[in-house]
Amino acid sequence: MTARPLVAVAHGSRDPAGQHAVEALLDVVRGRRPDLAVDAAYVQNAPPPLADVLAARGTGAVVVPLLLYHGFHVAVDFALAAAAAEAVVTPPLGPHPGLADALDARLTQAGVPPRAPVVLAAAGSSDPAAGEDVTEQARLLADRRGGPVTAAYASAGTARVDDAVADLLRRYARPVAVAPYLLAPGSFAARIRQAAATWVADPIGAHPAVADLVLERYLAATRIAR
C-alpha cells in the first residue's frame, strides 16, 4: 500500500530565509522517511498555497501544520482546504517535550547557561487556546532547563517580550535569555531579536527533534484515518 503523502504547511514569510528553513526541516524528514512524498505549502507570503498542493496530490494526504500552537489557521483555513481535498489535518506541533529539547539546544548554542531565566517569545494569537499552548510549552522548557521560563508575545498577547525580560530581571537579578518560539526567520524573529536581553537564541529551525515530531503527527493521523 502506498503511503499517504505528507503536506507540511507553514505560515510563510517575505524573507526567503523562512522558506529555506522550512525546506531544511523537511529535508531532515525526507531523510528519515525516503519512501514518503513530502511537500511544503504556505499560508501566505510564499508559494505554493495549501489548496494547490492538495489538488496536485489528490485525495488522502495528511496535512501537518508547521505551527507551534493552535489558532485560526489550524481551526479554519487548514480544515476547509483539507475537507475539500479529503485530506486529514493533524494538530499543530506544540506543545511537546521535543520542542523543549530543540529550544534548549538553541539556547545552549547561544551560550545561555543552564537555569538562567528565559522568556519564551511567541508571535502570538488572539485565540485563547494559543495562549494555553504557549504557557504549557514554557512549562515544558522550564522542566527541561531547570530554571524559570515565562511566556511572552511579539504581537498579540497580554505579555510583551521586553516587559517579560524586565520582569525576570527584577525578580531574579540575573541575566535573562530570550528563546524565540518560532520555527523560521522572518518579521517576528527580527522583532524578537531586538529584545533587551543578554542572549537571544535563534529560531528552532531544522532540529532533529522537530523532524521526529512532524513524523509523529503524521503517523498518528494515518493510524486514525485507517
Percent residues over pLDDT 90 in the chain: 78
pLDDT of 226 above 60? no
Secondary structure element (H or E) that encloses residue 8, with its range:
strand 6-10
Tens-place pLDDT, residues 26-74: 999 999 999 999 999 998 888 999 999 999 998 899 999 999 998 765 6
Residue numbers of the domain that contains 54: 6-93+206-225
Residues 19 and 79 in one domain: yes
Q: What's the pLDDT score for residue 158?
A: 67
Give the count of domains, the chain.
2
| Cβ atoms of residues 116 and 165 within 8 Å | no
Residue 79 lies inside a defined structural domain of this protein: yes
pLDDT at 73: 58
Q: DSSP character for 36?
A: S
**Residue 190: partners with Cβ closer than 8 Å, 6 or more residues away:** 15
In a domain, 45, yes or no: yes
Give dist(CA 23, CA 38) in Å, integer. 10
Mean model confidence pLDDT for the chain: 92
Q: In this structure, what CATH number is given to the domain that contains residue 25? A: 3.40.50.1400
Dihedral over alpha carbons 84, 132, 217, 96 (to 10 degrees): 170
Cα distance between residue 203 and residue 211, in whole Å? 15
Report yes or no on whether pTM surpasses 0.85: yes
